[in-house]
Amino acid sequence: MKKSLKHDLRYLVSVLLLIATTVACFSGWLADVWGINTFLIHTWSGYIMALLALLHTVWEWPRLWAYGRVRLRRRITPAVRSVAVPSQPLVPAPVPVRAKQPFITRREVIGMLVGGALGFAGGWRSSSPQRMQGDADWGVQYHTWSKPGAANFLSPILDWGQRPAQYKVYPQAPRLALPAPGDAQGLSLEEALRQRRSIRTYAATPISQETLSRLLFHTDGINAERGGIRLRAAPSAGALYPIEIYIVVHRVEGVEAGVYHYAVQDHALTQLRAGDMRDEVMRAGLWQRFLGEANVVLILTAIFQRLRWKYRERAYRYALLEAGHIGQNIYLAATALEMGACAVGAFDDNALNALVGVDGEEEAAVYMLAVGRRG
Ligand SMILES: Cc1cc2nc3c(=O)[nH]c(=O)nc-3n(C[C@H](O)[C@H](O)[C@H](O)COP(=O)(O)O)c2cc1C
């Protein structure tokens, strides 16, 4: 082969190897950030990189071999022994001596240790937080995928849909205006925090409409307006308020038993279903008896698109966090009103979604809490 052609080919292999390595690194990073287990670009660039590296090694083998021999061979150093002859000038008498040199110098050992430590620290820091576990459950996969990362660069070209209506309305359903919550004071916040417990035994007496009104108002009622935005008792990411509250009424004075939606914008109840729901709500709550014995059961649903159009892949995280805020408000408001509450996370999703009439995809039940007079 002509010498110049050989040189060109070597150069080409090196350049291609550099490109394949860059693509493999970048696609590996993307796969990590997005949690993609099968990313063909990464797989193929890895194979191509390995092939080119092999070619490169074969081609450069004579050089590599020569270099290795020089490095690994025990060094033969010509030592000079001087022989002093009194009346004559110093005559150098070169005698080749096979002097035992260290296999590796101190400087090389330090270099290797420092380089190794830096490489290990760098690799560990950059890879471990984003690495997907092959057997990670969906929750972990979602959590990893929803970390801010490369997906954010692409967000302008991804369509995350339109912002839905802020308030859910049922135009045909009967409305029940709740009494104004008023200024009555229950327990202080500190006292409510001290007394809060999960209560599962309830008295058979009803609660008043006013008590229900105060419970809902302090849970997530609209209590302020700033810059045209109506703010609520519980915080919400971007004030987008994805959580809806449904109330299954068992025993409230002057309110027919049934399923209601909290129309927060008017502080009113919209009746969705009428009738005794105790069996249905207990069944949805995996037969936890206290769900049929409480005065009311509050069911929190999330309309995910209210968050998704803005927060994209982080929407689901925020929905659950917000349900948690509201859930704690329910506990504290119930305690302040001298009632008890108990959170329920163990429920049959399909049954609970059916109970409040949501599809479980656009809007889904995420939490339920029983509230009632303590028994
Ligand atoms: C997310 C979540 C889910 C829960 N699910 C249930 C449940 O299904 N049934 C139940 O009896 N208690 C449930 N609880 C209540 C816990 O059992 C209770 O908070 C815990 O025992 C601590 O007691 P405390 O709330 O009185 O401090 C749940 C609590 C949380 C925060």
Count of all residues that appear for the chain in the document:
375
Is residue 139 domain-resident? no
SS3 56: helix
Give the domain CATH number at 344.
Answer: 3.40.109.10
Kindly give the residue spans of alpha helices, DSSP state H, lying in the chain.
3-34, 40-59, 61-72, 106-127, 138-145, 151-154, 189-195, 209-220, 278-284, 290-293, 305-311, 315-336, 349-356
Ligand 1 pocket (Cβ < 6 Å) reads 197-198, 200, 288, 342-346
**Two tokens, residue 200:** 């599962």
pLDDT of residue 11: 86
Which of 344, 366, 368 to probe ligand 1 with, by most ligand atoms within 8 A of CB?
A: 344
Residue 89: CB atoms within 10 A of its CB come to 5
State the Cα–Cα distance between residues 293 and 316, nearest whole angstrom.
32
The CA 231 to ligand 1 mean position distance, Å, reads 28
Is residue 137 domain-resident? no
Q: Which residue's CA is minimally distant from atom 11 of ligand 1? A: 344
pLDDT of residue 35: 46
The atom number, within ligand 1, closest to the CA of 197 reads 26
The atom number, within ligand 1, closest to the CA of 346 reads 8
Domain stop point among 29, 45, 74: 74
State the Cα–Cα distance between residues 257 and 248, nearest whole angstrom.
7
Compute the radius of gyration of the chain from its Cα atoms.
36
Domain stop point among 40, 74, 108: 74
The atom number, within ligand 1, closest to the CA of 200 reads 11
The CA 290 to ligand 1 mean position distance, Å, reads 13
pLDDT of residue 128: 46
Residue 102: CB atoms within 10 A of its CB come to 10
State the Cα–Cα distance between residues 368 and 198, nearest whole angstrom.
13
The atom number, within ligand 1, closest to the CA of 198 reads 26
Asked if 67 and 183 sit in the same domain, the reply is no
Domain stop point among 74, 103, 129: 74
Asked if 245 and 369 sit in the same domain, the reply is yes
pLDDT of residue 43: 83
Is residue 122 domain-resident? no
SS3 94: strand
Is residue 195 domain-resident? yes
Asked if 50 and 182 sit in the same domain, the reply is no
Per the structure, the complete domain to which residue 269 belongs is given by 175-373
The CA 276 to ligand 1 mean position distance, Å, reads 25
Cα distances (Å, whole numbers) of residue 141 to 23, 33, 153, 342: 24, 11, 20, 30
Which of 193, 194, 198 to probe ligand 1 with, by most ligand atoms within 8 A of CB?
A: 198
The atom number, within ligand 1, closest to the CA of 286 reads 8
Asked if 69 and 185 sit in the same domain, the reply is no
Domain count across the chain: 2
Q: Which residue's CA is minimally distant from atom 31 of ligand 1? A: 343
Asked if 199 and 335 sit in the same domain, the reply is yes
pTM of this prediction exceeds 0.75: no
**Two tokens, residue 8:** 């060109």
> For the chain, which ranges sit under pLDDT 70?
1, 31-39, 74-103, 123-134, 149-158
Q: Which residue's CA is minimally distant from atom 17 of ligand 1? A: 198
Asked if 43 and 189 sit in the same domain, the reply is no
Is residue 188 domain-resident? yes
Is residue 141 domain-resident? no
Q: Which residue's CA is minimally distant from atom 21 of ligand 1? A: 198
State the Cα–Cα distance between residues 232 and 238, nearest whole angstrom.
12
State the Cα–Cα distance between residues 138 and 84, nearest whole angstrom.
84
Is residue 145 domain-resident? no
The pLDDT tens digits for 56-82 are: 888 888 888 888 888 777 554 554 454
pLDDT of residue 84: 52
pLDDT of residue 72: 73
Instruction: Give, in degrees to the nearest 5, the angle at Cα 273 between 269 and 278.
Output: 100
Q: Which residue's CA is minimally distant from atom 10 of ligand 1? A: 344
Beta strands in the chain (DSSP E): 80-83, 91-94, 175-177, 222-226, 229-232, 243-249, 258-263, 268-274, 296-303, 339-344, 363-373
Is residue 147 domain-resident? no
Amino acid found at 124: W
pLDDT of residue 151: 57
Q: Which residue's CA is minimally distant from atom 3 of ligand 1? A: 345
The atom number, within ligand 1, closest to the CA of 285 reads 8
